[in-house]
Amino acid sequence: MRRWPLYGGGLALLQAGLLAGCDRTPEVPAPPPATNAVSPVITTPAPQGPERLILAFGDSLYAGYGLDRGQSLPDALQNRLRKDGINATIVNAGVSGDTSAAGRQRFAFALDNLKRKPDLILLGLGGNDVLRQISPAETRANMTAMMDEAKRRGIPVMLTGMMAPPNLGPEYSSQFNGIWTDLAKAYHATLYPFILDGVIGDAALMQADHVHPNRTGVDRITARVAPLVESALGRSQ
């Protein structure tokens, strides 16, 4: 992947606590009320056709950290899908600072509080595990538990993967980076290997923290991810 030195720099900034406002410990309190998992602001009218309900479940990269309301990745994806003629409603269940452990705790709760079973889950966690240098084995176990829950409920999943910066060493990076491809193969899930590919390291596409995309960066990610989401929705029919 590209421009890893800047990714490592962003990691150091976060570990220094400059973004402590979006940091959380894995020992999280009880899940938030269902009203916290709401559909994003609608800026593109829904086209004709059956509604395709998608749960976007992740961390700050889904929650829209540092962006105005209506500018998050789930918002942009919903707009793109609707412009492409798909009557998509994306429920944004992104929580800034969530580790895979925190996500695992609230995953079933988020699914239970949707109006119906979603047609697709977008699952994007792992970035905060890297920041905390959590054992890849623990991350894998948490992600596997969520994939098992989705499989039990008969819901297809699309993974947006994360990668470890090389300054954590080849052993950690190899163990961590392999989680996403292994899960995609084991559960026949759609995979976008690295959510920040083509964005991280480009100052024109990133916020000042060098970790979160700005609105232009979100648009770049959306352009790459949307075709895979459309394909995954097609297979879920």
Of the residues 23, 197, 209, 219, only one is catalytic, namely 209
Q: Which of 73, 67, 78, 131 is nearest to 102 (CA)?
A: 131
Three-state SS for 48?
coil
Q: What CA–CA distance (Å, rounded) separates 81 from 62? A: 16
Q: Which of 212, 122, 141, 130 is nearest to 176 (CA)?
A: 130
The residues, ordered by sequence, that sit 6+ positions from 202 with a Cβ below 8 Å of its Cβ are 3, 217
The answer to whether the beta carbons of residues 103 and 57 sit under 8 Å apart is: yes
**Residue 146, phi then psi, degrees to nearest 5:** -70, -40
Of the residues 59, 96, 119, 212, only one is catalytic, namely 212
Tokens in use for 183?
């899960």
The answer to whether the beta carbons of residues 52 and 88 sit under 8 Å apart is: yes
Active-site annotation holds for 209: yes
Active-site annotation holds for 59: no
For the chain, what is the radius of gyration of the CA atoms?
17
Of the residues 60, 72, 96, 100, only one is catalytic, namely 60
- Percent of residues in the chain assigned helix, strand, coil, to nearest 5: 45, 10, 40
Active-site annotation holds for 60: yes
Q: Which residue has the tokens 């829904």?
A: 46
Kindly list the catalytic residues: 60, 209, 212
